Amino acid sequence: MANPGRPVPPYANISHSILHNPTFIQHNHNIDQRLYIRSGERRKYPLTSLCRRISKLRSVFLTAGYARLLENVATAALHDSVHVLDPPKCHPNTRVAIIQNIRNWTVGQAQEQSRKPILWLKGGAGAGKSAIARSVAERCSEEGLLLGTFFFGAADSTRNHVEKLVATLSYQISLVLPEFRDTVATFIEEDPLIFDRSISTQFNTLIIRPFWRVLTNHSATLSTIPCLIIIDGLDECSAVNSQRDLLLTLQEVTNTTSLVRFLVCSRPESHLNNTFGLSHMVPIIYKIFLDDDYAAGKDIKLYLEDKFMQIKEGHPFKHLLPHPWPTRKMVGTLVYKSSGQFIYAATVIRYVESPRHRPDQRLNAIFQLRPPFKDLPFTELDALYRLIISKAEDPSAVLDILVFPALYGQFDAQDIETILQLEDGAVEVMLADLHSIVTIDRSVKFLHKSLGDFLSEPQRAGDLYCDLSRVRLSHVASVINIFSSESGANFHLSNSF
């Protein structure tokens, strides 16, 4: 029952109130009195005091939202993460042309390509994609062009999936654009389960909407806003469906805004080729394939010469090195064997520069001029070959196909099908998972010349070893059998044995 001696407080509209413990705090600033009711006691608070309390509470909520964002960040996926040991970077004065090309595309100076908001940098295993991506990230960060990066890693459980990708990018944008932080924190508080939603919904809520709100209130011209997001190693994301979904989400994002550009780096896996080849994707994709178009051979030669010079100047056993060392022929052979893939050259250098051995003897072991040491030269590269081939649906049938380019160089795919008595198109289907080490068009060709060496050396290949001499004899027998049969009249062998 109301106390007749105590005035009834004015009607309180709680439609915009916050429940804090047992207390209602009014957000309606149109009333004359601000009341704080506790234990039957009424206290008057001036407007400024109440505003300070509301501001403090809002700050608490925003801090909570931002804390949730940080909980979902994959720190190892950052381009400058301390958790990644010896991250690959481009050797000084190498990859200059391609890095400049990507930078020009980022700022809209690449003519026709600048109208395409997604750049797909693709290349075989060990071509140096991640090194280029990190070098681009560092340069664009220095120039104020970088919004964020995410480097997938197949062997790292914190970054071999897409679950933390958007949060990681959103966190980095909040560092580049400080006003972005409060905005994205607000959206997280409105939907605390946002991190469990689809990749598309996360992009919209944690990046696009807050990004647009910041731009609306931004006093600077749009040309000064950072625009580049780098996603490296997409093929190292564990789920193929997630890779496709991410690419389709990036396409949706570019339909929403023209202010964000995506550099996507990956191996040319068949499902990625198919996704990038969709009719609605083709007009927005600018593709760069890492091959000799960007003077990879020249860059690898420079890298090898610089590294050998460092060894001659700083190795503990430098006084035992012959002169000249290495010979020009040795360097030229290593460049040729690299096939434009930096991983081969880098593997050679890591082996040769061992401080426990004479560098010239280690190099001689690579050229098989002396017995190998206990640690084999190409352990890392061999593990890569083994992993890729083992992922094929039928590794044994794949090996039957791979021996053709190993023996004869580039070899016609239809001829392989005829000799092995396979169905039309079988070669392309069986090699669908090997686009990172072979190219399949009308013919089959190794991206890595050293792959043939791997297959023919039992100590390196193990159970994948192929006795090429015996295989050659079986091929000759098959061809003779084909020509002696009725079907042989229409068979024309385009390759020579």
**Is 123 among the domain residues?**
yes
Q: What is the residue-level pLDDT of the chain in tens, covering all 497 positions?
A: 444 443 433 333 333 333 333 333 334 433 343 333 344 444 444 556 555 555 554 454 457 889 999 999 999 999 999 988 778 889 999 999 999 999 999 998 877 787 899 999 999 888 999 999 999 999 999 999 999 999 999 989 999 999 999 999 999 999 998 889 989 999 999 999 999 999 999 999 999 999 988 887 765 555 667 889 999 999 999 899 999 999 999 999 999 888 899 999 999 998 999 999 999 999 999 999 987 566 789 999 999 999 999 999 999 999 999 999 999 999 999 999 998 889 999 999 999 999 999 999 999 999 988 888 888 889 889 999 999 999 898 999 999 999 999 999 999 999 999 999 999 999 999 999 899 999 888 899 998 889 999 999 998 999 999 999 999 999 999 888 888 876 655 666 665 56
Give the ranges where 72-143 is alpha helix by DSSP (H): 96-106, 129-142
Q: Which two tokens stand for residue 200?
A: 């598309």
User: CATH number, domain at 148?
Assistant: 3.40.50.300
Half-sphere exposure of 82 (CA within 13 A, CB side): 0
**Long-range Cβ pairs for the range 351-356 (8 Å, 24+):** 351/375, 351/377, 351/378, 352/308, 352/311, 353/307, 353/310, 353/311, 353/315, 355/315, 355/316
**Is 396 among the domain residues?**
yes
Report in angstroms the alpha-carbon separations of 167 from 164, 194, 207, 363: 5, 10, 9, 46
Q: How far apart are CA 341 and CA 129, in angstroms?
A: 10
**Is 62 among the domain residues?**
no
Query: Do 394 and 305 lie in a common domain?
Result: no
**Is 57 among the domain residues?**
no
Reference 452, options 442, 464, 436; nearest CA is 464
What is the reported pLDDT for 427?
A: 95
Q: How far apart are CA 145 and CA 433, in angstroms?
A: 35
pTM (2 d.p.)? 0.81
What is the reported pLDDT for 315?
A: 97
Query: Do 261 and 147 lie in a common domain?
Result: yes
Q: Is 20 left (phi over 0), alpha (psi -120 to 50) or beta?
A: beta
Q: Is 421 left (phi over 0), alpha (psi -120 to 50) or beta?
A: left
User: Is 434 within 8 Å of 387 (Cβ atoms)?
Assistant: no
pLDDT tens digit string along 132-183? 999 999 999 999 999 999 999 998 999 999 999 999 999 999 999 888 998 9
Give the ranges where 339-434 is alpha helix by DSSP (H): 342-352, 359-366, 379-390, 395-408, 413-419, 426-430
DSSP labels, 57-76: HHHHHHHHHHHHHHHT--GG
What is the reported pLDDT for 483?
A: 80
Query: Do 285 and 403 lie in a common domain?
Result: no
Domain ranges, residue 6: 1-45
Query: Do 261 and 408 lie in a common domain?
Result: no
**Maximum CA extent, the chain:** 120
Number of separate domains in the chain = 4
Query: Do 125 and 199 lie in a common domain?
Result: yes
What is the reported pLDDT for 296?
A: 87
Q: Which of 331, 346, 377 is the last residue of a domain?
A: 377
Q: Which helix (H) or strand (E) holds 148?
A: strand 146-151
Q: How far apart are CA 389 and CA 383, in angstroms?
A: 10
Q: Which of 255, 273, 290 is the last residue of a domain?
A: 290
What is the reported pLDDT for 376?
A: 84
Q: Exposed, middle or buried, 65 (CB in 10 Å: 0-12/13-18/19+)?
A: buried
**Is 103 among the domain residues?**
yes
- Say what angle helices 342-352 and 359-366 make with each other, to 10 degrees: 140
Query: Do 271 and 127 lie in a common domain?
Result: yes
Q: Across-strand partners of 314?
A: none
Query: Do 20 and 150 lie in a common domain?
Result: no
What is the reported pLDDT for 265?
A: 97
Query: Do 36 and 104 lie in a common domain?
Result: no
Q: To 5 degrees, how large is the angle CA 481–CA 483–CA 486?
A: 95
**Is 59 among the domain residues?**
no
Query: Do 235 and 125 lie in a common domain?
Result: yes
What is the reported pLDDT for 18?
A: 35
Collect all residues with Cβ–Cβ distance below 8 Å to 290 and sequence separation of at least 6: 98, 121, 122, 123, 124, 127, 128, 129, 132, 296, 340
Q: How far apart are CA 286 and CA 54, in angstroms?
A: 49
Query: Do 231 and 284 lie in a common domain?
Result: yes
Query: Do 198 and 279 lie in a common domain?
Result: yes
**Is 70 among the domain residues?**
no
Q: Which two tokens stand for residue 258?
A: 């023209």
Query: Do 410 and 347 lie in a common domain?
Result: no
Q: Which of 225, 258, 290 is the last residue of a domain?
A: 290
User: Is 413 within 8 Å of 444 (Cβ atoms)?
Assistant: yes
Residue whose pair of structure tokens reads 């010896």 in the numeric block: 86
AA letter at 225: I
Collect all residues with Cβ–Cβ distance below 8 Å to 286 and sequence separation of at least 6: 105, 110, 113, 116, 118, 119, 120
**Is 55 among the domain residues?**
no
* 228-232 β-sheet, strand order: 146-151, 228-232, 261-266, 118-122, 285-289
Alpha-carbon torsion (429, 431, 436, 440), positive or negative: negative
